[in-house]
Amino acid sequence: MRAILFVIGLLLSLGGHANQGYEVSGKVVDANTGTALAGVQVSNVATKALVRTDDKGNYRIQVLDGKNTLIFSYIGYLEQRIAVNHRTTIDVALAQQNTTLDEVVVTGSERRAKRQTASVMNVNAALSGQVSGLYIRGTGYVPNQNQESYQKIKENKFINPRKEPLSTLAADVDAASYSNVRRFIKSGTLPEKDAVRVEEMINYFQYQVAGPKNGEPVNIVTELTKAPWNTTHQLMRVTLKAKDIPTANLKASNLVFLIDVSGSMMGPGRLPLVKASLKMLVDQLRAVDHVAIVTYAGSAGVKLESTPGDEKMKIKSAIEELEAGGSTAGAAGIKKAYEIAKQQFIKGGNNRIILASDGDFNVGESSDESMEELIAKESKSGVFLTVLGYGMGNLKDSKMEILADKGHGNYAYIDNISEARKAMVTEFGGTLFTVAKDVKIQVEFNPSYVQAYRLVGYENRLLEAEDFNDDQKMGGDMGVGHVVTALYEIVPVGVESGMVGTVDPLKYQQQADPVAERRNAELATVKFRYKEPEGEKSKLQQKVIGTTVTELNRVSEDLQFATAVAELGLLLRDSDFKQKASFDQLIARAKASKGKDEEGYRAEFIRMAENARDLSRSKE
């Protein structure tokens, strides 16, 4: 009898345990940025149980059995219903959604706001799903990017060297266009034509180039091969490599974080990503470095006075406390940041403002021209400016680029946490420490060998020929270890090309003797000028390029890969000069020249190119 009672009790115990079910856990992130989402509501359809994700996006919830369904919902995101299917771990990526708020009612208050139009990401960031008594009703619509602004690009044409033998440009290492293009493609759309700046796509990648010798800050490397999109043409590579400096030997830094906390910075791809990015940067700082924090919305204010870099918890706490809301007085913030940077100026050090914003300035001076004048004036103080762009749908790319150019700095677009790590950790020295400023390149082509030439990209970096020797004219800036690459497409003499127009022979011009000119076997001469970071007088270096052409499969892996990136840029722009450019051709070449790729950036490019190819075909 006792045995029977024991068995019955055991069965009841097991049954009770089965009814308790088990625990499912996981993490919820933004599908576009990978940023953890705090406050996401996770509910069990069967039990009506409800939990929310913590500040790291993690959750735990009980289920009765493996057949339960979980609902993941968050203001500003598309709801997801996921069957458990006997799993114990379920990670979720939620996609963003904009909406019109038809009615907002807060219980316990007499104030009501009706028919207010806004991005739900703004509400989402402000509430984080944790305000009780809030009721929101509305209908969704497809997000658009009509509020983004890009500078119009008029592509460089082929030029006859007998008319214009000199090509002059400001060397620049901005790479914002690449990560912005990646953001478009990841979202399932091809980028706007003017969002594609081919030179920035090329310069996104690090290339294995020998550094300078004899104490010089910059070295020059050149190669000559056939153009892959037209093998009767040639492609000339001009690459500058800045010197490397160990982190321990870098100059002491006086940094001012200038952070946009206006309403347009609400949402996980904006201020939360800014916070994560700057915290990474704080981890790289030393005791000799100092950081101040200036914020701006409707007005500018000082969040943190200049603080030693080893007081990391104090700096990070100030960053974490930031909240978004209000209009955008960008000019006031910039003036305040320069004021503090000049007060804490370190002679012989690295004095720099790091601006994090979407560029949507709407209070005070806000036009591109007025901001350009303001930054140009302030940059004479010896304080450099690094610009970090964030957000989608409202990105003012043209304004951000102008600020960086006039501020003797660089511009990067941060679309996810991996890009933040690249800018703030992997390329820390190059992002923040200038080793050569006002860098200019000038190429003189020999018309005996060159029928026509075309600079690929750099349309908004062109200079007049006489600007090269004028130290008052600004060039680009290069940071520690940075590499700048320019590609020239060349139509050789004797090659018939539809890319080159013709005119009748000139009546009053003296005709050159091509036989005499060919004796030197020089295709071109490359010159570049630069200034020391604190200098005002430029230095000159030059290199002669011969006429020997190396087959594309025999040049460096770096050049092979760079041509693949350039070819993708031509296709994405639907360039008038794409000629026989091909997605399949460039993808195959990128795969063959991927090299070690320790950080995985080249592999990511290949995937992006494949996605762009598929998107392009779907539009045909």
Each domain of the chain, given as residue ranges in start order, spans 17-141, 166-245+435-497+514-619, 247-415
Instruction: Give CA separation, 121 vs 129, 143, 206, in Å.
Output: 11, 11, 35
Q: Which CATH superfamily is domain 166-245+435-497+514-619 in?
A: Gamma-adaptin ear (GAE) domain (2.60.40.1230)
Residues of the chain where predicted confidence (pLDDT) is lower than 50 = 7-8, 10-18, 98-145, 363
User: Does residue 101 contact residue 75 with C-beta atoms inside 8 Å?
Assistant: no
Where on the phi/psi map is residue 76: left (φ > 0), alpha (ψ -120 to 50), or beta?
Answer: left
- pLDDT at 102 (0 to 100): 36
Range 362-398 burial, b when 16+ CB lie within 10 A, else e: ebbbbebeebbebbeebbeeebbbbbbbbbbbbbbbb
- pLDDT at 136 (0 to 100): 37
Range 538-577 burial, b when 16+ CB lie within 10 A, else e: beeeeeebebebeebeebbebbbbbbbbbbbbbbbbebeb
SS3 state at 43 = strand
Q: Which CATH superfamily is domain 17-141 in?
A: Carboxypeptidase-like, regulatory domain (2.60.40.1120)
User: Does residue 348 contact residue 251 with C-beta atoms inside 8 Å?
Assistant: yes
The CA-CA-CA angle for residues 502, 506, 509, to 5°, reads 135
- pLDDT at 190 (0 to 100): 92
Distance of CA 552 to the CA centre of its chain: 29
Topology of domain 247-415, CATH:
Rossmann fold (3.40.50)
- pLDDT at 513 (0 to 100): 61
- pLDDT at 416 (0 to 100): 84
Fold equal for 17-141 and 166-245+435-497+514-619: yes
**Structural element, H or E, at residue 388:** strand 384-389
- pLDDT at 266 (0 to 100): 79
Q: Alpha-carbon distance 86 to 428, whole Å?
A: 45
SS3 state at 225 = strand
